[in-house]
Amino acid sequence: MPSIEPLAEGASAPTFDFVSKEGVSGNTQELAGKAFLIYFYPKDDTPGCTKEACAFRDAYEDFRLVDVPIIGVSGDTQSSHDKFRKKFQLPFPLASDSSTFEIAKAFGVYGEKKFMGKVYEGIHRVSFLIGPNGDILKTYRKVKPDLHAQEVLMDIKELNSTQSHV
């Protein structure tokens, strides 16, 4: 089974559009000058994805305090995202990467997956911490949904203590 090749640290992060929880369109280019987190997940309202989203929700204030916005990305439609965001009171934007999976492909996180013996193509659970200059500071390939938010926060604090650009 071919593995995915997520963008590595130091690569420039592709830009993309997203919709805020208020329904306002945005683009990651608008975040230039600040660090932010992009997390890819397979599907709205499934057990692992809900755990991960709720962990980010629960840590949202901590991310806000370190001034690191969060953007979730999956192949679901914007309508599905709106329901998911409302159901779990998610305070951050979710980008729809449906039909062409252009965003996931640009980040190298779309590819062959296996679930219960079935092989199919889909988005892998991978996250990217993006620096203020648009370069990837850290790629998270092995994400544990319920622990990931705290892992990212620890990395942000560590980067802040050793560098002055997060």
Task: Tell me the pLDDT of the chain averaged across its residues.
Answer: 92
* Amino acid present at 14: P
Give CA–CA dist 141/8, Å, rounded. 10
* % of residues, the chain, pLDDT over 90: 79
Query: Catalytic residue at 49?
Result: yes
- Annotated catalytic residue: which of 49, 73, 136, 159? 49
Q: Could you tell me the domains of the chain?
A: 17-162 (3.40.30.10)
pLDDT tens sequence across 113-151:
988 889 889 999 999 999 999 999 999 999 999 999 999
Residue 9 Cα distances to 17, 46, 56, 82, 122, angstroms = 22, 29, 22, 31, 23
CB 49 within 8 A of CB 42: yes
pLDDT tens sequence across 91-109:
999 999 987 899 999 999 9
